Amino acid sequence: MESIDRCRRAVVEGASAEILQLDRLIEACSQMQDELRRSLDLMADDYTMTTILSRAGTEGVIPKLTEAMEQTNAARRVGRGAMIRLALAEGMTTRQLGERLGISRQLVERYRDE
């Protein structure tokens, strides 16, 4: 079992990474929202979908949003795993953690083992 101090550092690092990724996700969502508004404006002006898609941002808003979501989920998994390992090192059981987090004991064990 990892030391409690090491687990605490991992929780702080994980939470910091999650916050950074959430900021990136929020930015990607904002860009997607802007793109959808532009598309709706064009639809209101009776533009064809072909024209709307050809005018869509060339920076790839949808792939950026997808990537930001994937990175956010990865950071969340790392952070949750660190939190679970710390709680286990402090004496909580997998059952207690599952109940508190609303997940199964098996999922707690998978996070622990990552």
pLDDT tens, 40-94?
Answer: 888 888 888 887 777 765 567 778 888 888 999 999 899 999 999 999 999 999 9
Q: Where are the domains of the chain?
A: 4-113
Q: For the whole prediction, is pTM greater than 0.95?
A: no
Q: Are 17 and 79 in contact (CB under 8 A)?
A: yes
Q: Residue 114 and residue 110: Cα distance in Å, rounded?
A: 6
Residue recorded with tokens 């790392």: 78
